[in-house]
Structure 1
Amino acid sequence: MNLTIKTLIKISICTVFALLYNINVNAQATLVQKTIDKIKSYKNLSYQHLSKVKESFTNDTLTRQSKNFILKAPDDKTLGYLYRTETLNKAGNSVSTEFYNGKNLIRINQADSTYLIDEINGKAVMGLLTDLNWIKDFAVKQSSKMVIANDTIINAITCSHLIINYRDTIINNEHLYTRFHLFIDKVSDMPVYLIRNVRSADIGNAVTNYYSKDSYFDYKFDQNDISVADWVIPNGFHEKIDEPEIPLLPVGSIAPDFVLDGVDGKKITLSKLRGKVVLLDYFFVGCYPCMLSLKPLNSIHEKYKNQNVAIVSLTERDNEKVVAEFRKNYNIKYPIYVNGRDAVKSYHVRGFPTFYFIDKEGKIANVFVGYGDDFEEKVTSVIDKLLK
């Protein structure tokens, strides 16, 4: 079969694009694989990790510093490593420790000399290695969403710069994205920064901006004083026994009265709402399932605002300023109250969000914990029955 000139040109162009694609994939995956291989080459390593997280929910920056240890463990069939992290206070002293010993995740609290044991896969706690393996796999599967940018100098360190565009779309004229920036020291091949930028409209009634920056530094390799003996529960520590969980208030019982402070300076009590169906929404700013409930709660508020229904959203963690900004940013129509500690305690609330329904006579009519896709349907069904 004879091939025309045009056919040969098309084949050549396709071949070139295929080669360029493979080079692109290999370059991105190789960059991260080189770091993974470097870590695997050591018997052990330690490093410091400084995490800074800023959310648009509160505009606060949460900082956490830890010292981490990785020990090669060929006999561990799950991961091949043991992992330990020590959370540090501002003075640099360890206040708690958790480690994966090949079987369980052990959490140690120095303050009360107690420990907890969780049955958990080690991959869930291998922060640095888990992130690197995820990025490498993403580079292989979706290389078109990754770019190797120009080298960047950070604190006098020349770094390779990998940009991962995990999500990039426009919805309702809003530019939404999830973008990662990984910076790797070109000399040591160790990560320096992992930055996450997220702009999302998936929760609440507004666009949410999320920013986190993980800094990795003070690397030490193949230290002689690190061994399996460091992955044991210290002498004198005892297992922490959780107190029995107090059940939620039973249906039919009298709802305890409470006093809550509104962001407008006005107080509210349950007794003043007698004769209305009351929906108590226990939440706190930044709680993910709580955030998912914002839009349906707004809708429910609009539906029943001219009827004998009151939504009382309350928080024990957030102050007036945070709540006022939160309501404005997320266009929340229903009231939110603060200083809810006593109400949390008297209603035996342990998980968030928790929703109590109180009938017109002041009795508990229903209660459920958490958020589901059928949330609005469930809530309106309960309220409609209570109104009748």
Structure 2
Amino acid sequence: MSKNIAYGLGILLVALMLYLGLVTNSHQENIAGVLPGKEAPNFKLKTIEGKEVSLEDYRGKVVLVNFWATWCPPCREEMPLFERVYRTYRNKGFEVLAVSTDSSLDPVKKFVKEYKLSFTVLFDDRNITSLYGIQGLPTSFLINREGKVVKVRLGEYKEIEKDLKQIL
């Protein structure tokens, strides 16, 4: 196998692993276009029920904005954790905005029903994914009450509860 082919296959494998959330990066805050310490860009999207909401509507609360898809195994894995954490901390000012990047709404509605998700699920028109510089799924942004990003996470966000306790 030539060096060029091996190099190309290596790059393809790393890109695929990043896309699936299987590789983490010690500099995760540099993966996405939105960096910790910066204000999270406002956006408006519709819920899966058709109601328009904006990130600005949640100012004064701690918000987890999670980009995900129903076909993404790590995304599916973290949703029950997000639901548990949401139910535990919602009365303390915590909200979850799960931004689906699926190509159609039907699998998202089915997924929400199957997993009994009670937090807000939004459907992206691809503009918000681009605005946030999403390079792989899942990608999460933890935003404080002032609207500033405090954590960016590519891949499963298993430490959400620990990070949340520090800023609530």
Which category describes the TM-score, using the shorter chain as reference length? 0.7 to 0.9
* 1:261 aligned partner: 46
Helix, strand or coil at the partner of 2:103: coil
Pair 119,367 (structure 1): closer, same or farther in 2 beyond 3 Å:
closer
Are 1:117 and 2:5 matched, yes or no? no
CA distance in 1, matches of 2:95, 2:104: 22
Are 1:364 and 2:156 matched, yes or no? no
Helix, strand or coil at the partner of 2:53: strand
1:249 Cα deviation after fit? 1.8
Helix, strand or coil at the partner of 1:253: coil
CA contact (8 A) 1:104 1:118 kept: no
1:351 Cα deviation after fit? 1.0
Structure with a larger share of its residues in strand: 1
Structure 1: state its 5+ residue gaps: 1-101, 107-115, 121-244
Q: Which amino acid in the other structure matches residue 380 of structure 1?
A: E
Could you tell me the TM-score, scaled by structure 1's length?
A: 0.36
* 2:165 aligned partner: 384
CA contact (8 A) 1:258 1:342 kept: no
1:331 Cα deviation after fit? 2.1
For residues 221-258 of structure 1, give each alpha carbon's deviation from its aligned partner in whole angstroms, at most 9, with x where no partner exists.
xxxxxxxxxxxxxxxxxxxxxxxx97532211111000
Q: Which amino acid in the other structure matches residue 381 of structure 1?
A: K
* 1:272 aligned partner: 57
Helix, strand or coil at the partner of 1:318: coil
CA contact (8 A) 1:248 1:348 kept: yes
CA contact (8 A) 1:257 1:271 kept: yes
CA contact (8 A) 1:104 1:119 kept: no
Are 1:298 and 2:83 matched, yes or no? yes
RCO comparison, higher one (Cα < 8 Å, 6+):
2
* 2:23 aligned partner: none
CA distance in 1, matches of 2:92, 2:10: 49
Are 1:286 and 2:71 matched, yes or no? yes
CA distance in 2, matches of 1:260, 1:289: 23
* 2:126 aligned partner: 341
1:1-388 maps to which residues of 2 (within 5 A)? 102-103=1-2, 106=5, 117-119=8-10, 247-371=32-156, 375=158, 378-387=159-168
CA distance in 1, matches of 2:152, 2:85: 17
CA distance in 1, matches of 2:125, 2:134: 11
CA contact (8 A) 2:140 2:154 kept: yes
CA contact (8 A) 1:311 1:334 kept: yes
Helix, strand or coil at the partner of 1:118: helix
Q: What value does the CA root-mean-square deviation take over the aligned residues?
A: 2.3
- The farther-off stretch of 320-329 and 290-299 is 320-329
CA contact (8 A) 1:287 1:352 kept: yes
Helix, strand or coil at the partner of 1:117: helix
* 1:21 aligned partner: none
Pair 278,344 (structure 1): closer, same or farther in 2 beyond 3 Å:
same
For residues 19-61 of structure 1, give each alpha carbon's deviation from its aligned partner in whole angstroms, at most 9, with x where no partner exists.
xxxxxxxxxxxxxxxxxxxxxxxxxxxxxxxxxxxxxxxxxxx
CA distance in 2, matches of 1:323, 1:247: 24
* 2:18 aligned partner: none
CA contact (8 A) 2:64 2:142 kept: yes
CA distance in 1, matches of 2:105, 2:73: 20
CA contact (8 A) 2:63 2:94 kept: yes
1:264 Cα deviation after fit? 1.0
Percent identity, aligned pairs only, is 26
CA distance in 1, matches of 2:133, 2:66: 13
